[in-house]
Amino acid sequence: MPIAIKMPALSPTMEEGTLSKWLVKVGDSVSAGDIMAEIETDKATMEFEAVDEGVIAHIQVAEGTEGVKVGTVIATLAEEGEDAGSVAPAGGSSETAKPESAEPVGSEAEAKAQPLSSSSEEKSSPSTSSGQSETKVAPATGGDRIIASPLAKRIAEQKGIDLAGVKGSGPNGRIVKADVQGAQPGAAAAPAAASAPAPTPAPAPAQAQDFGIPHEVEKLSNMRKTIARRLTESKQQVPHIYLTVDIRLDALLKLRGELNAALEPQGVKLSVNDLLIKALGKSLEVVPACNVQFAGDSMLKFSRADIAVAVSIPGGLITPIVTDAGSKAVSKISTEMKDLATRAKDGKLMPEEYQGGTASLSNMGMFGIKQFEAVINPPQGMIMAIGAGEARPYVVDGALQIASVMSATGSFDHRAIDGADGAQLMKVFKEMIEAPLGLVA
């Protein structure tokens, strides 16, 4: 019986994507684990992995096609022993979809992630209204059904993971490779976090007008569309409160020089940003009232500070995450951040390396920006904006001197974080930078 290969949901919020590239063609044989295609989401170009064995009988969505809805049949697989030439296309379509745009589908600004499972579903069941056939899933104990890819099952067996306790992120809750790689043996599924109410749809933007001015039209990438949508929602839905402090950097710069001299044999060179990531992580531990997320009629209070660090890449912005930044050594943060930033710019981050985080840090000091107010990255509750360190007149011990000073501005979600709590975080952040030995204690 032919198997329908469907467009998968590669993230919890994905509704559509771009089929960037087919890595197989009609007539090719595939086995479980083979990479079939590359699919572009809002932040990544992800490899699409086969979960069944067979021969590609039809490709129903051509590479380069944009806006392919999750669940759309993109190809048909003939099972082993079937004549691929006589297999009808699954989903009732006999034509290959044409790309919406003749422009090449680039990997610009997109991160290439680990393989994910294809979306073949239950086999040989009565047709639904859409006429799509589905593949069988494995039965679970206790009369329930566990929907998991063969690769995920194999990894779970090797690691001793009970799939009944793993929440699937694939189509229809299918457990895929990414779900079991981070799971602990015997781990139970975490309860779903309360989500904020759906935002009110944004009003349609004003019609663009060129007024006869010479110009060219550049089609938005999925990344740019997502940035536009999410930040518009943030400014419309999240009441921002901004708090700014001036911070003297001389002690931090002196400590950085001493640490770099000591760490030179290890090949580690700390940046100021590495120390700021550590300072924000520790500050959130000291002021846990700011390490939160608003979730409708509830609030998430995090016991760990995962700092998402804004990294500019061609065509957009991505925020790789330093997990548990408050507890990590600054040398470890430095090593991790260099690796994350390099792979972000090369488009090689895995989804779990840029999705999540409890707070963000954005540093524009290298551009000479004195101060700015960053937009909160929802659903996070705050973001710290860092300006340039510069020589300024500054009162030290009651006397006016020249000191290295930077301005830091915290943007806080006022639904979850009171102004007094935000002010306390800014105070602690300032104190940790001006007396930085605590960062290496």
139 touches 77 (CB < 8 A): no
Nearest residue to 341 (alpha-carbon basis) of 395, 273, 275, 295:
273
Q: Which of 307, 304, 257 is nearest to 277 (CA)?
A: 307
Give Cα 404 to chain centroid, integer Å.
35
Residue 63 backbone phi and psi in degrees, to 5 = -65, 145
Element (H, E) at 226: helix 222-237
Instruction: For residue 414, indicate whether it is catalytic.
Output: yes
Instruction: Write the CB contacts of 307 (distance below 8 Å, at least 6 apart in sequence).
Output: 277, 280, 281, 321, 322, 325, 357, 358, 359, 360, 361
Residues 140/146, Cβ–Cβ less than 8 Å? yes
Cβ contact 72:61 at 8 Å: yes
| DSSP labels, 147-164 | -B-HHHHHHHHHHT--GG
Find the catalytic residue in 58, 215, 240, 414: 414
Distances (CA, A) of 242 to 260, 319, 420: 34, 21, 12
413: β partners:
240
Q: CA 406, CA 393: separation in Å to the nearest integer?
A: 12
Strand order through the sheet with 35-40: 65-69, 16-22, 35-40, 44-49, 111-117
Dihedrals phi, psi of 126, to nearest 5 degrees: -55, 145
CA dihedral 78→80→83→87, nearest 10 degrees, is -20
Burial class (CB in 10 A: 0-12, 13-18, 19+), 218: exposed
Give the residues across from 145 on adjacent strands.
Answer: 139
Catalytic residue annotation: 414
